[in-house]
Amino acid sequence: MSGMSNNSVISCLYPNKCAVCDEIIREGNVFCEYCGRVINNIDYRNWCVKCGLPKDVCRCKIREFRFSGIVAAYINSGAAQKAYYSYKIGRREELAPFFAKKAANAVKTVFGDLHFDAVISVPNSKSGLLRRGFDHGGKIAAGLSDILGLPYLRGVLKVKPFKSKQHKSSFADRLENVRGKYYTVKRLNIKRVLLFDDIYTTCATLDECAKELMFAGVGEIYCAAVLSTSRKKKQTGVNNGN
């Protein structure tokens, strides 16, 4: 090895860029000044912990879940969405610790009174892994467990191949798509776990995974994610195309 650390070699090759707009920024920062200011941080005083949405768009009356609570680091829109996609799609893997820290902070803020025994993550399909070239969710889940000082039970949940894609399907379709998609291979005598997925919209995937974990012996499941997709309340007379 030369005297140069791995990190400094990387930063010479790739100057530090804002996760949202690609402007060159000081090393150690994630956002430029502007993007850091406009990014939509969540006010957890107005957070519905049951459905993982801001209270004004809470959907608890429509649906109940098997998990006991859910929190996200950001709402899936604007600067936060751009930043996360530059990690996940743009493969800026160096952003994983940042998103892990944001998810950990969300967990500490909302579930600070709870003791968790382990972190488990929703697995990626093999085709997704091949397409993206890295385990984007697993990387953040590992970082999250490090920060929270919990064991990360990698590979506890498994995914079957050949289920249709979830993207842009209705809630009923999503529910059908994920049913039976995930499974566990061993008995888990664990009281309370933190289940991680990177993005949730209907929570159908997290709910299905929570069911499997309960079957396997987990007592209680709480969920954490990077992005919560919040559908805005429909305005009367406006067709938003959905």
35-64 residues in contact with Zn ion (CB under 5 A) are 35, 48, 50-51, 58, 60
Cα 142 to Cα 100: distance, rounded to the nearest angstrom: 8
Placement of tokens 């590979």 in the chain = 155
Q: Which is nearer to Zn ion, 70 or 120 (CB)?
A: 70
User: What is the smallest separation between the CB atom of 88 and Zn ion, expressed in angstroms?
Assistant: 18
Placement of tokens 């005083």 in the chain = 45
Placement of tokens 């850091």 in the chain = 36
Is there a contact between 181 and 160 (Cβ–Cβ < 8 Å)?
Answer: yes
Q: What are phi and psi of 164, to 5 degrees?
A: -65, 160
Q: Which is nearer to Zn ion, 32 or 118 (CB)?
A: 32
Question: How many residues at the interface with Zn ion, by CB under 5 A?
Answer: 11
Burial of 103 (0-12, 13-18, 19+ CB in 10 A): buried
Q: Which is nearer to Zn ion, 19 or 209 (CB)?
A: 19
87-106 residues in contact with Zn ion (CB under 5 A) are none
Beta bridge partners of 228: 75, 200
Alpha-carbon distances of 8 from 3, 27, 220, 222, rounded to whole Å:
10, 10, 43, 38
User: What is the smallest separation between the CB atom of 206 and Zn ion, expressed in angstroms?
Assistant: 14
Give the three-class secondary structure for 22.
coil
User: What is the smallest separation between the CB atom of 160 and Zn ion, expressed in angstroms?
Assistant: 30
Q: Which is nearer to Zn ion, 15 or 133 (CB)?
A: 15
203-242 residues in contact with Zn ion (CB under 5 A) are none
Q: Which is nearer to Zn ion, 47 or 152 (CB)?
A: 47
User: What is the smallest separation between the CB atom of 231 and Zn ion, expressed in angstroms?
Assistant: 13
Which two tokens mark 131? 């397409």
18-37 residues in contact with Zn ion (CB under 5 A) are 18, 20-21, 23, 32, 35
> Which amino acid does the sequence have at 49?
V
Q: Which is nearer to Zn ion, 9 or 60 (CB)?
A: 60
Cα 210 to Cα 64: distance, rounded to the nearest angstrom: 12
User: What is the smallest separation between the CB atom of 33 and Zn ion, expressed in angstroms?
Assistant: 8
User: What is the smallest separation between the CB atom of 217 and Zn ion, expressed in angstroms?
Assistant: 27
Q: Which residues would be at the binding site for Zn ion (CB under 5 A)?
A: 18, 20-21, 23, 32, 35, 48, 50-51, 58, 60
